[in-house]
Amino acid sequence: MTTASVDAVADQDRKGPGRPRSARADEAIIEAVLELLSAGQSADALSIEAVAATAGVGKATIYRRWPNKEALLIDAVTTMKGPIPEPAGVSVRDDLVTLLAGMRTKRMHRYGKVTACLLPELVKSEEMHKVYQAGVVEPRRDVMRGVLRRGVESGELRADLDVELTLLMLSGPAIVQNMLRWNPAVPDEGFAEHLVDAVLRGARA
Amino acid sequence: MTTASVDAVADQDRKGPGRPRSARADEAIIEAVLELLSAGQSADALSIEAVAATAGVGKATIYRRWPNKEALLIDAVTTMKGPIPEPAGVSVRDDLVTLLAGMRTKRMHRYGKVTACLLPELVKSEEMHKVYQAGVVEPRRDVMRGVLRRGVESGELRADLDVELTLLMLSGPAIVQNMLRWNPAVPDEGFAEHLVDAVLRGARA
């Protein structure tokens, strides 16, 4: 995008006289990104033009807030994921169910579709992959890691448990099922409970 | 694409005088699809033009063999996956390791990247999702299902094993790890063995 065209869009954007950059515009932009991704628009093909058109704002409004598409995508996914959950710390089983069930709310299918449409971008860009891992995946994985480690320390889980593999055994099935109902023979109802119970059957002390 | 432009490309394609549609051209086209997808080109953004250019053939050569992009994508992925494996039927553990390790050959990273770049297309098109499930996923899952069922019948696995959930516990971690090394703390070395052993620890009779 040239400076000239940025200015042109910025002028257009100012048509609402003196309109401040509002939180509402930010929300509309984030919502537009999520709407486009969940409809099957892959992140690498997503254009700022399309986001601007869907959100009903000028491109300059987007560029004032986010320096590039990557930053906007990360913000959108982080917003979608919501705050990092804090497990109650009662039992390993209940904490894991709470964390996994959070991935399967009524917005579950949207989450999964957005994630699926983000993947090509992560394949294409090592930098984007790093940012996504560090900003979105790892903070949430670390909460679950804490639950498993506490279980090992308390003796609820086996002392020789492979914690990292167990994390993958909890998140992998949930991710592929959320994205695309990978195995349609596995029901949504009670999924988190069934998965946690099956994993813990092999993980308990 | 208009009939006129198809004809134009077909004419261009015939420049190599009398060149027959060869198996080599088919291979070059399939290889071009896989090359583009594994480089992070998402399937929904993939154009027949780009495939033709990468394969060094005319678009008409592609359209003579595949009626549309969806058919070409399915053929490419099926070719990449190779023949449906036949487990030796010795022990549940060895059969599962063989099936899972087949997902992690030296071509593993390419497989994973291609799968990741195919996902937005599956999100966008219910039809494509059905064809992919029926043609690619389900035949391979059914081989693994057979191994688990034989294990239940032989008494090697618990009689009340949730076979469908167990299938997801084997494939889910392998898929997300192949696509993007979802948990970088889990090593590639011995992955299939470690995952199968962890799942079987909770599944054995």
Per-residue pLDDT of chain A (205 residues; tens, 9 = 90+): 333 443 344 444 444 445 555 788 999 999 999 999 888 888 878 899 999 999 999 999 999 999 988 889 989 988 888 888 888 888 999 999 989 887 655 566 778 888 888 888 888 888 889 989 998 899 999 999 999 999 999 999 999 999 999 999 999 999 999 888 899 999 989 999 999 999 999 888 7
B199 and A169: CB-CB below 8 Å? yes
* CA-to-CA dists, residue B75 to A76, B26, B35, B81, angstroms: 34, 10, 14, 10
Of A81, A88, A94, A92, residue with least CA distance to A175: A81
Contact list in B for residue A168 (CB cut-off 8 A) is: 173, 176-177, 182-183, 186, 195
Nearest to A45 among B39, B44, B201 (CB): B44
Of B128, B143, B16, residue with least CA distance to B76: B128
Give the integer Cα–Cα distance in Å for B44 and A24. Answer: 31
Which token pair is B108?
């593993």
**Quick check: do A3-77 and A83-203 share a fold?**
yes
Q: Which CATH superfamily is domain A83-203 in?
A: Tetracycline Repressor, domain 2 (1.10.357.10)
Strand intervals (E) in B83-153? none
Give the integer Cα–Cα distance in Å for A139 and A123. Answer: 21
Q: Where are the domains of chain B?
A: 3-77, 83-203
Size of interface A-B (CB pairs under 8 A): 166
- Position B103 scores a pLDDT of 60
B47 touches chain A (CB under 8 A): no
CATH of B3-77, one of 3.30.830.10, 2.40.110.10, 1.10.357.10, 3.10.20.70: 1.10.357.10
pLDDT in tens, A81-120: 888 888 888 899 999 998 988 765 556 677 888 888 888 8
- Residue B30, pLDDT above cutoff 50: yes
Nearest to A182 among B123, B171, B200 (CB): B171
- Distance (Å) from the alpha carbon of A124 to chain B's nearest alpha carbon: 4
A-contacting residues in B 68-127 (Cβ below 8 Å): 113, 116-117, 119-125
Q: The dihedral of CA B136, B138, B141, B142: what is its sign?
A: negative
